[in-house]
């Protein structure tokens, strides 16, 4: 799952998916352990994803996705 090189990284195993899910669709996973924002890291220099809050069928961006500039901002040159 995701961009990390760990073979044990599995968020959901053997999950049913609707036939109309296609590449490029966005899927939400409610509980992701270390993949959740509060437990995430910049492991392998991978930025954290955006965080979207959903309430009453409406979505709102609450944290933007980290950029490469964000990842490199603490580097000392």
What are the residue numbers of the active site? 5
Closest by alpha carbon to 3, among 33, 37, 36, 48?
48
């Amino acid at each position: 799952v995701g961009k990390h090189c760990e073979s044990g990284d599995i968020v959901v195993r053997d999950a049913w998916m609707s036939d109309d899910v296609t590449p490029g669709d966005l899927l939400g996973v409610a509980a992701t352990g270390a993949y959740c924002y509060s437990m995430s890291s910049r492991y392998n220099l991978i930025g954290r994803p955006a965080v979207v809050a959903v309430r009453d069928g409406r979505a709102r961006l609450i944290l933007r996705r980290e950029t490469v500039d964000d990842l490199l901002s603490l580097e000392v040159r």
